[in-house]
Amino acid sequence: MSANTKAADFPLFQLSEDHEAIREAVRDVAEAKIAPFAAAVDEESRYPQEAHDALVASDFFAPHIAEEYGGVGADALATCIVIEEVARVDASASLIPAVNKLGTMPLILGASDDVKSRYLPPVAEGKATFSYGLSEREAGSDTASMKCRAVRDGDDWVLSGQKSWITNAGVSQYYTVLAVTDPDGARGNNITAFVVEKGDEGFDFGEKERKLGIKGSPTRELHFDKVRIPGDRMVGAEGEGLKIALRTLDHTRVTIGAQAVGIAQGALEQATAYVKERKQFGKNIAEFQGIQFMLADMAMELEAARQLVYVAAAKSERGDADLPFFGAAAKCYASDVAMKVTTDAVQLLGGAGYTRDFPLERMMRDAKITQIYEGTNQVQRLVMARQLLKG
């Protein structure tokens, strides 16, 4: 560095002692109070209530919420560390803090002080969870083509339609829901966001989806049958909903990257421990060069993914202009790595990796969704390419 170069010229990220302390604390909670139930949660396809309670008790339930709303005010990097460490033992449980951020981020970015003060404190205190209703069956990647409608009726809005693939639906008390409020308006500028409460009349849920992985996190449709929403539950201005939703994803894709890193880290640790104990041809298979090459590649790609996620988290915290590229890159690369690492980990255990006696087959199944939700990795590549072409 020259005499005129400042540390700020390299504004990527730096893990502080506080970040490392958070990692240690979350890991202790995860190993003691979440990991012992992970297999049963998956086997029974049930919500990880033990993890929920442990996260509330330790202030890791929604750590991103600011102190002014009763939260601990963890920065984006610290929040990623929380999600990563929980995902290391149970991906389903890691969706609790991740989806709380996803559901509340539209409020943080665009809601009035009144809406924030009503809905953020219960989540910060662990009294409520918050989900996010954007996707529809015929409007997945093409979010602007959604059919869910909200029609003005005096000071209220009447919401009709459905949302699909909603994480923790039925568990959450609150939902940020996007709906078309001006059918004749310009595409993308005719959508508004609202807070829907679980007890609202006419609001119901579909059956739980039967999924490959993350079985401990219920995924259901949201059904709205003329649900009356008070006008003071609007998030942001009328017609600004999709812009807020897409800005939200710029931030929360980073947390999916963190989840993917955590899954991959757990798989690498399980595989490493196994090959050090498993014997063939009179010696531990960890001594075979072919095994060592696989482990080295897994660790190298995992660490690259972790660094990219942390850089993106720092950019999220600062609100950098290039966050859309880095958020997409972090989610895309980390999830591809998670799929590769978990698959290789299963391979390293051979037949044992294919059984439920070890958690690797669960980790492999869980990893797959990280390539799909919050925008498929094909969509992430489109986002990155568009950012590059914009210069």
User: How remote is the C-alpha of 345 from its chain's centroid?
Assistant: 23
- Six token digits for residue 259: 């989840």
Same domain? For 259 and 305 the reply is: yes
Q: Which domain holds residue 95?
A: 9-124
Same domain? For 196 and 135 the reply is: yes
- In a domain, residue 140? The reply is yes
- Give φ, ψ of 167 to 5 degrees: -70, 135
Same domain? For 355 and 248 the reply is: yes
Which CATH number do you get for residue 161? 2.40.110.10
- In a domain, residue 88? The reply is yes
Same domain? For 285 and 361 the reply is: yes
Q: What pLDDT tens digit does each residue of the chain (391 aa) get?
A: 344 434 344 456 789 999 999 999 999 999 999 999 999 999 999 999 999 999 999 999 999 999 999 999 999 999 999 999 999 999 999 999 999 999 999 999 999 999 999 999 999 999 999 999 999 998 888 888 999 999 999 999 999 999 999 999 999 999 999 999 999 999 989 999 999 999 999 999 999 999 999 999 999 999 999 999 999 999 999 999 999 999 999 999 999 999 999 999 999 999 999 999 999 999 999 999 999 999 999 999 999 999 999 999 999 999 999 999 999 999 999 999 999 999 999 999 999 999 999 999 999 999 999 999 999 999 999 999 999 999 8
Among the candidates 94, 124, 154, a domain finishes at 124
Q: Which of 84, 85, 361, 374 is catalytic?
A: 374
Same domain? For 337 and 349 the reply is: yes
Among the candidates 186, 216, 239, a domain finishes at 239
Count of structural domains, the chain: 3
Q: What is the pLDDT of residue 337?
A: 99
Among the candidates 124, 142, 160, a domain finishes at 124
- In a domain, residue 1? The reply is no
Same domain? For 89 and 39 the reply is: yes
Q: Work out the burial of residue 372: count CB atoms within 10 Å of its CB; fewer than 13 is exposed, 13-18 middle, 19 or more buried.
A: middle
- In a domain, residue 53? The reply is yes
Which CATH number do you get for residue 105? 1.10.540.10
| Amino acid residing at 182 | D
Q: Is 374 a catalytic residue?
A: yes
Same domain? For 362 and 278 the reply is: yes
- In a domain, residue 4? The reply is no
Same domain? For 248 and 380 the reply is: yes
Q: Would you say 258 and 331 are in contact if contact means Cβ atoms under 8 Å apart?
A: no
